[in-house]
Amino acid sequence: MNQKLNWEEIKKRFDQEWVELIDYEWEETKPYPSGGVVRVHAKDRKEFDRLI
């Protein structure tokens, strides 16, 4: 996936999944990024670690 998504869309599409973001935007004062490109996603940590 090469599409840049906002944080709300990432949460909606990848609910309860581990995600690795690239090309992200993250304000220092915010707890979450405002958006980015999802490079890897997985349902559990073991699968996520295998993919990265």
Number of domains observed in the structure of the chain: 1
Pairwise CA distance, residues 52 & 14, whole Å: 17
Q: What is the extent of the structural domain holding 26?
A: 4-51
Does residue 5 surpass a pLDDT of 70?
yes
- pTM, entire model: 0.85
2 falls in which pLDDT band (50, 70, 90)?
confident
pLDDT at 43: 98
Average pLDDT over residues 16-44: 97
Average pLDDT over residues 20-32: 96
